[in-house]
Amino acid sequence: MILEAEGLYHVYESKAEDGNVVALRGLHVKVAAGEAVAVVGPSGSGKSTLLKCLGGLMKPSAGSVKLAGKNMTRLTGMELVELRQKTVSFIFQEGNLLPHLSARDNVAQPLRHQGISAKVAHQKATEMLERLGMGHRSHAMPKLLSGGEQQRVAIGRALITNPRLILADEPTGALDPVTSREVLSLFKDLHENENVSFLIVTHSKEVAAFSDRSLELRDGRFVAEHGTNVNVEDLSEGRELIVDEMGTVTLPPDLLVQMGGPGRYTVGQVDSGLLNLVGETIEGIGELVLAPSCPACRFKYEDEETQLCPSCGSSRPMVEA
């Protein structure tokens, strides 16, 4: 396993009337070498907190995280930095570029930290920017780049060290649909041909569909899992049923899977003391393909490659096959 977390809890202390906030509730996560895993869920479900704990950017309140077989919670600061430099790269929705460095220098920065000469680092950075379609902007400063351009530079910076694992928080959130697909195509190439592992936090169906597995996170717990190599026992060790003051019911993940997954259910008779739920479940994310027609002007595409509608200029969306 390239990444493994056991019993992960994280509590944000607060002096507010509602008290402390429990962001993660005993999560178990495993990412095999060369595997791509997506974590999906609504805002406030704990996705970004999970990513930071898994990457060693934040220490969990309880539990352990192993990166490349080493327990990060037991490493010194310098040991942790060295392990991250050799193993993992981060991509965040905000590019977080160094404002005083050009695009090329930003991409080259991780190599410079590893002691590689400026000449070699700049050459590799230029090649990476060319690969991302940003070669013509290599000397531009971040403030002169659009949001999408800044994100592509940030992605280049993450890829420049040839990491074994990439942790990404909404990596295509600031990109237009066409550029987003180009980035996902690059991720797919790294995943399939260079055995790079991914754990991606996302709201996007397209990004989740790129992954081998997707985990659904709600209120700090995994409630469903889709894809290959699904193991229900990884979702939760407990079987508690939670009902909050608004009447929202949280079922144990293994029970939810046996019922067929999340969906809209109708409550039957409860006079007998038994709760009978009947309804249609929501299927997991299927294969996504480019739409056969433009949703804006109804133009019918004649090929499977066109990204922009030749009639009205709209981006061609992805739909489930």
- What's the confidence (pLDDT) of residue 282? 45
- What's the confidence (pLDDT) of residue 265? 67
CB neighbour list of residue 210: distance below 8 Å, 6 or more residues apart: 36, 38, 184, 187, 188, 191, 200
What DSSP element (H or E) covers 68? none
pLDDT in tens, 63-81: 889 988 888 877 777 888 8
Amino acid identity, residue 12? Y
Domain residue spans in the chain? 3-215, 287-321
Angle separating helix axes 103-113 and 147-159, nearest 10 degrees: 20
CA–CA separation, 180 and 187 (whole Å): 11
- What's the confidence (pLDDT) of residue 241? 58
Please provide residue 277's backbone torsions phi and psi, each rounded to the nearest 5 degrees. -110, 125
CA–CA separation, 153 and 275 (whole Å): 53
Per the DSSP assignment, residues forming a β-bridge with 290 are 318
Q: Is 235 helix (H, G, I), strand (E, B) or coil?
A: coil
- What's the confidence (pLDDT) of residue 257? 59
Average pLDDT value for residue range 199-211 = 83
CATH, range 3-215: 3.40.50.300
Per-residue pLDDT band for 316 (boundaries 50, 70, 90) equals: confident
Q: Answer yes or no: are the C-beta atoms of 3 and 67 closer than 8 Å.
A: yes
CA angle 94–213–277, rounded 5-degree value: 110
| Rg from Cα positions in the chain | 22
CB neighbour list of residue 2: distance below 8 Å, 6 or more residues apart: 31, 32, 33, 35, 67, 68, 87, 164, 165, 197
pLDDT in tens, 101-125: 999 999 999 998 888 999 999 999 9
Q: Answer yes or no: are the C-beta atoms of 43 and 218 closer than 8 Å.
A: no
CA angle 192–224–28, rounded 5-degree value: 75
Q: Quick check: pTM over 0.85? A: no
Nearest to 235, CA basis, from 219, 257, 210, 250: 257
Q: Please state, rounded to an integer, the average pLDDT across all residues of the chain.
A: 80
CA–CA separation, 92 and 168 (whole Å): 6
In which residue are the tokens 């995280």 written?
Answer: 65
| Residue 198 Ramachandran class (φ > 0 left, ψ -120 to 50 alpha, else beta) | beta
CA–CA separation, 73 and 70 (whole Å): 9
Tokens of 261: 């997954």
pLDDT in tens, 293-303: 888 888 899 88
